[in-house]
A and B are shown apart, each in its own frame.
Chain A
Amino acid sequence: MQVSLSRRWQKIFSGRGAQGWVYLAVFALLALFPLIAGLTIGNPQAASEGAGFFEGLLQRAESGYAKFWQGMLIQMLILSIFAMSYDILLGYTGILSFGHAMFFGTGGYAIAILIGQHFNWPFFQALGAVVVIAVLQSLIFGILSLRVKGVYLTMVTLAFAEMFFILAEAGDFRQYTGADDGLHGFPVPAYLSATEHRTRFYYLALILFVLVFLAARRLINSPTGRVMIATRDNENRAMMIGFNTFWYKLIAFVAAGVFAALAGALSALFNVSVTPATLTTFRTIDALAMTIIGGVGTLIGPILGAGIIQLLGYWLERWFGANWTLIYGIIFMLIVVFLPYGIVGTLRRRSFGWKAGWARWKQLLTGKAAPG
């Protein structure tokens, strides 16, 4: 019984054998994080008198640094979902989209507007609507932009996202979108308030994160996902075998769009605000950077990348002030040069890109033509 259960878990989590336990351990660590944080960096005075150990721990987790770091982790989880959804496109289907922020931002705006004063929808109904909107949006723009290929697709998606950004910023819909101020302080249900119940929100984000991870994994390991990968590797061959690659690319587009919209909605709920900034190209570039740093074509990579970028942004901003993006850009370029497959990709290949990276630059500087 025990054995079969573990096999099953392994199958769910990795599909590749022993690594499943690593995933389980990481998820367990993430699940226990609020308690650990409460124990170590929470404010000991926050626990009320007469509370039991566990209860006190939860109260401590809602205080001081423990609360702050839970917030950081929530943002990492949200960004991870966003980056994973991007990797479904870039890493598994080979679609370089520059408009992924479109889904993220629209998800945020959709939930904010629907639970806001104009519609006053119940929360779960609004969440369902977010999914429906995301499906429709990704279907429409997927069908439109998948007509073109390669760089054209990149530019088309970029332009579509820019259109949404401009419309969100436009004064014409101020009563709904708040124009360039964005929407703030919409009525998030009290039981989900991230300021009051940080730990609860953390678990919500974690559950959503795990669900998206499993769903993405299931999608990629399914026959559909295999066709997507085949499309990425050689679209003509996939078509020759008899697959209509358009549909598979569309499926990837829709899946990625829905996951990104969920991440956007969660982000809006966490911050209790959405601004047009969530729709800018920089948001997409964030996802791209996370995916590339972590490793394109892996699911763990984007998660790792999201964590790294969130931490890097936090520390760099503390150290360098307003111009931190300069350092960020340089670090980003160095990673791209020296770890061409990202962290996870490089680890999987067990061959570090350092040598190749230097070799390329040295060859260039010494004037010899690079091979290939």
Chain B
Amino acid sequence: MTGFLRNNRTILLTLVFLLGMIAFTFQGLEPKVGMSILLSGITLAALFFLIASGLSLIFGLMDVLNFAHGVIFVLGAFVGLSTLMNPRLLFNTLPFFLSAAGGVAIARHLGTPLWQRVNTERGRKILWWSLLVLAFALLAFGLRRFPIRTLNAFSITTVGGAVPTALAQEPLGLMIQRVAFLFLAGLPFGLAVAPRELRQENRRAALWKSIAITLGLLVSAFAILLLRDPGEQFILGLSVDWRFLLALTAGTLAGMLAGAGIEIVLIRPFYGNPVTQLVLTLGLMIAGTDLIEAVWGEESHPPMEPPSWFNGACRSDSLIAWFSEHCRSIDVLGRAFPTYRLFIIFVGIAIFIGVGILLKRTRLGMIIRAGVQDSEMVQALGINVRQVFTLVFALGSGLAALGGVIAAPFLGVFSGMGQIFILQAFIAVVIGGMGSYTGAAIGTLILGLARAYGDHFVAAGIDLPFLANTIKGSPAIARASTVLIMAIVLLVRPAGIFGKKE
């Protein structure tokens, strides 16, 4: 018992402190007001946590301060919105990625003998450049005049997302041509990035594997292309619940893929050079926001339609009643509270527990925790740490993208939403201690509660003992107050609440 208390001293003290603060603030409030502020705070905290946990994991393992994390959040929200309202964009762009990946997969395998024929440094250089130029030329040729903006023009105008059939789709023949060109573009790129030496592995089996992967990718690319009209109608014909699930999956997957891509192309070549990595993620933040605006437009979209479970036009009396009624709001001590926010809280807690189990109970989690402590040592023990890095980057980005989709029915979707959240997530991570998973959770909890209470007290006014008038302010003051909390925490503990001491 004493051992448990001693080992978990920090977290227990923090929790006691938090509970004390909550109890203290409850004193001056009606219970129903206090409760709804508390729940709002936890909702915010859950959203912050989805971003902050990824940031914290990535920083802990790789020492990368990922400024592009907010862009991933926005990407998730937009991909989710597209899936829910108008999957046309996904149906028309997914085959491109698949067929290009297929080309790379097969050519990467066939390229090695080619590179072995070319022995001179100069010859290799020429080959490399010409392959690259060829790849980009084919890519540009395949994608010329691709009307990306018209593909999602409808999702803005039609509420509920019913897209008129066969309107303004590009002809199928042209699309097949484009997909073929992307496959062709993938070939020289795959040749260019092929391994220079033969590896010690079963060549024939590897070849069949590559062929199978390529065929699978190509078949799925063409299948998606052929099924784009019925598929679109099918998805839009689904109930909003299924579409929401699809949106969650698609958004998270998009985030994971983007994260893995960022890690492989921009972060991996620069380990041991944190400033360069940081600056690169900054560049990505600048370019990524604009890229999203280029694809999805600069308009801000109204909150996405939540699943029907959270959309009934009524008010449930209790959680149990809600299970049968599916009301939009629920009665909390006599005050209505949106049930969708309870769902956000639920997702936040589920992810916290799920990732926590992953970290504590699985082999991968063990490697990650060991890597946070000393990644060189883990590498020396014969574990491919780079792969784990990519995985964790993808995982963290996937969480952020999931957060984006979850936040979309609550906040709406706009390209600037990432920047609002990323700063708060950074502050939360710093409060909790960078690299600490529990710290990220506690930090976001503190921050979410501070924001909610701050908003309330700033609007309602604070009675200070020595002043006659109540002090009132704007919500901006509450926003600034989170910084104050961070400053205080860092003055007491320079490495955050759960941070490692230097």
Do A and B come together as binding partners? yes
A residues at B contact (CB < 8 Å): 96, 144, 147-149, 151-152, 154-156, 158-160, 162-163, 166-167, 169-172, 281, 285, 288-289, 292, 322-323, 325-326, 328-330, 332-333, 336-337, 340, 360-370, 372
B425-450 vs A, CB cutoff 8 Å, 1 = contact: the mask equals 01101100010000000000000000
Selected A-B contacts with CB under 8 Å, 20 pairs: A149-B494, A151-B63, A152-B434, A155-B65, A155-B429, A155-B430, A159-B430, A159-B487, A172-B473, A172-B477, A322-B298, A326-B287, A329-B286, A332-B286, A336-B280, A362-B128, A363-B269, A364-B268, A366-B193, A366-B194
Pair B195/A148 contact, Cβ less than 8 Å: no
With A170-B476, A323-B294 as given contacts, are A152 and B494 in contact (CB-CB < 8 Å)?
Answer: yes
Q: For the complex, what is the distance from the CA of A149 to the CA of B293, rounded to whole Å?
A: 36
Specify which chain A residues have a CB less than 8 angstroms from the CB of B286 in the assembled complex: 285, 325-326, 328-329, 332
Pair B486/A323 contact, Cβ less than 8 Å: no
Of A169, A323, A363, the most chain B CB neighbours within 10 A belong to: A323
Specify which chain A residues have a CB less than 8 angstroms from the CB of B192 in the assembled complex: 365
Specify which chain A residues have a CB less than 8 angstroms from the CB of B474 in the assembled complex: 170-172
Pair B195/A366 contact, Cβ less than 8 Å: yes
With A167-B476, A171-B474 as given contacts, are A162 and B483 in contact (CB-CB < 8 Å)?
Answer: yes
Residue of A nearest to B433 (CB): A152
Specify which chain B residues have a CB less than 8 angstroms from the CB of A328 in the assembled complex: 286-287
Determine whether B276 belongs to the interface, using a CB cutoff of 8 Å to chain A: yes
Pair B283/A329 contact, Cβ less than 8 Å: yes
With A162-B423, A170-B477, A365-B193 as given contacts, are A340 and B276 in contact (CB-CB < 8 Å)?
Answer: yes
Pick the contact of A167: B269, B288, B480 (CB < 8 A). Answer: B480
Specify which chain A residues have a CB less than 8 angstroms from the CB of B188 in the assembled complex: none
CB distance from A305 to the nearest CB of B (A): 13
Q: A158-B426, A163-B480, A172-B477 are in contact. List 5 more A-B contacts (CB 8 A).
A: A152-B434, A155-B429, A159-B483, A163-B483, A332-B279
Interface residues of B in 453-502 (CB under 8 A from A): 473-474, 476-477, 479-480, 482-484, 486-487, 490-491, 494-496, 499, 502
Pair A156/B490 contact, Cβ less than 8 Å: yes
Q: For the complex, what is the distance from the CA of A158 to the CA of B264, rounded to whole Å?
A: 27
Specify which chain A residues have a CB less than 8 angstroms from the CB of B287 in the assembled complex: 325-326, 328-330, 332-333
Pick the contact of B269: A148, A162, A360, A367 (CB < 8 A). Answer: A360
Determine whether B272 belongs to the interface, using a CB cutoff of 8 Å to chain A: yes
With A158-B423, A288-B282, A365-B193 as given contacts, are A323 and B293 in contact (CB-CB < 8 Å)?
Answer: yes
Pair B276/A336 contact, Cβ less than 8 Å: yes
Q: For the complex, what is the distance from the CA of A354 to the CA of B85, rounded to whole Å?
A: 45
Determine whether B317 belongs to the interface, using a CB cutoff of 8 Å to chain A: no
Determine whether B368 belongs to the interface, using a CB cutoff of 8 Å to chain A: no
A-B contact count (CB 8 A): 141
Residue of A nearest to B59 (CB): A151
Q: For the complex, what is the distance from the CA of A159 to the CA of B271, rounded to whole Å?
A: 26
6 closest Cβ pairs, A-B complex: A329-B287, A170-B476, A326-B290, A329-B286, A365-B193, A333-B283
Specify which chain B residues have a CB less than 8 angstroms from the CB of A370 in the assembled complex: 268-269, 271
Pair A329/B290 contact, Cβ less than 8 Å: yes
CB distance from B58 to the nearest CB of A (A): 12
Specify which chain A residues have a CB less than 8 angstroms from the CB of B77 in the assembled complex: none
Specify which chain B residues have a CB less than 8 angstroms from the CB of A289 in the assembled complex: 279
Interface of B is mostly: helix
Residue of A nearest to B281 (CB): A333
Specify which chain A residues have a CB less than 8 angstroms from the CB of B268 in the assembled complex: 364, 370
CB distance from A206 to the nearest CB of B (A): 30
Q: For the complex, what is the distance from the CA of A291 to the CA of B75, rounded to whole Å?
A: 30
Q: For the complex, what is the distance from the CA of A318 to the CA of B483, rounded to whole Å?
A: 38
Q: For the complex, what is the distance from the CA of A144 to the CA of B473, rounded to whole Å?
A: 25
Q: For the complex, what is the distance from the CA of A372 to the CA of B494, rounded to whole Å?
A: 31
Specify which chain A residues have a CB less than 8 angstroms from the CB of B59 in the assembled complex: 151
Pair A159/B427 contact, Cβ less than 8 Å: yes
Determine whether B16 belongs to the interface, using a CB cutoff of 8 Å to chain A: no
Determine whether B333 belongs to the interface, using a CB cutoff of 8 Å to chain A: no
Q: For the complex, what is the distance from the CA of A322 to the CA of B294, rounded to whole Å?
A: 10
Pair B494/A148 contact, Cβ less than 8 Å: yes
Residue of A nearest to B473 (CB): A172
Determine whether B162 belongs to the interface, using a CB cutoff of 8 Å to chain A: no
Interface residues of B in 356-378 (CB under 8 A from A): none
Pair B291/A326 contact, Cβ less than 8 Å: yes
Q: For the complex, what is the distance from the CA of A281 to the CA of B483, rounded to whole Å?
A: 15
CB distance from A261 to the nearest CB of B (A): 20
Pair A148/B495 contact, Cβ less than 8 Å: yes
Q: For the complex, what is the distance from the CA of A330 to the CA of B286, rounded to whole Å?
A: 9
Specify which chain A residues have a CB less than 8 angstroms from the CB of B211 in the assembled complex: none
CB distance from B382 to the nearest CB of A (A): 14
Of B282, B427, B429, the most chain A CB neighbours within 10 A belong to: B282
Pair A364/B264 contact, Cβ less than 8 Å: yes
Q: For the complex, what is the distance from the CA of A281 to the CA of B480, rounded to whole Å?
A: 15
Q: For the complex, what is the distance from the CA of A342 to the CA of B480, rounded to whole Å?
A: 35
Specify which chain B residues have a CB less than 8 angstroms from the CB of A155 in the assembled complex: 65, 426-427, 429-430
Residue of B nearest to A168 (CB): B476
Specify which chain B residues have a CB less than 8 angstroms from the CB of A166 in the assembled complex: 476, 479-480
Pair B490/A372 contact, Cβ less than 8 Å: no
Q: For the complex, what is the distance from the CA of A340 to the CA of B272, rounded to whole Å?
A: 13
Q: For the complex, what is the distance from the CA of A171 to the CA of B280, rounded to whole Å?
A: 35
Specify which chain B residues have a CB less than 8 angstroms from the CB of A285 in the assembled complex: 282, 286
Residue of B nearest to A147 (CB): B494
Determine whether B266 belongs to the interface, using a CB cutoff of 8 Å to chain A: yes
Pair A144/B476 contact, Cβ less than 8 Å: no
Pair A372/B283 contact, Cβ less than 8 Å: no
Residue of A nearest to B199 (CB): A367
CB distance from B220 to the nearest CB of A (A): 25
Pair B294/A333 contact, Cβ less than 8 Å: no
B76-114 vs A, CB cutoff 8 Å, 1 = contact: the mask equals 000000000000000000000000000000000000000
Residue of B nearest to A156 (CB): B490
Pair B490/A172 contact, Cβ less than 8 Å: no
Determine whether B148 belongs to the interface, using a CB cutoff of 8 Å to chain A: no
Pair A152/B496 contact, Cβ less than 8 Å: yes
Residue of B nearest to A361 (CB): B269
Q: For the complex, what is the distance from the CA of A271 to the CA of B286, rounded to whole Å?
A: 25
Residue of A nearest to B485 (CB): A159
Q: For the complex, what is the distance from the CA of A253 to the CA of B491, rounded to whole Å?
A: 18
Pair B266/A333 contact, Cβ less than 8 Å: yes
Pair B193/A154 contact, Cβ less than 8 Å: no
Specify which chain A residues have a CB less than 8 angstroms from the CB of B276 in the assembled complex: 336, 340
Q: For the complex, what is the distance from the CA of A77 to the CA of B222, rounded to whole Å?
A: 56
Residue of B nearest to A90 (CB): B275
Q: For the complex, what is the distance from the CA of A363 to the CA of B268, rounded to whole Å?
A: 11
Pair B486/A159 contact, Cβ less than 8 Å: yes
Interface residues of B in 230-289 (CB under 8 A from A): 264-266, 268-276, 278-280, 282-289
Pair A160/B483 contact, Cβ less than 8 Å: yes
Residue of A nearest to B496 (CB): A152
CB distance from B101 to the nearest CB of A (A): 15
Q: For the complex, what is the distance from the CA of A169 to the CA of B490, rounded to whole Å?
A: 25
Specify which chain A residues have a CB less than 8 angstroms from the CB of B335 in the assembled complex: none
Q: For the complex, what is the distance from the CA of A171 to the CA of B476, rounded to whole Å?
A: 8
Specify which chain B residues have a CB less than 8 angstroms from the CB of A144 in the assembled complex: 487, 491
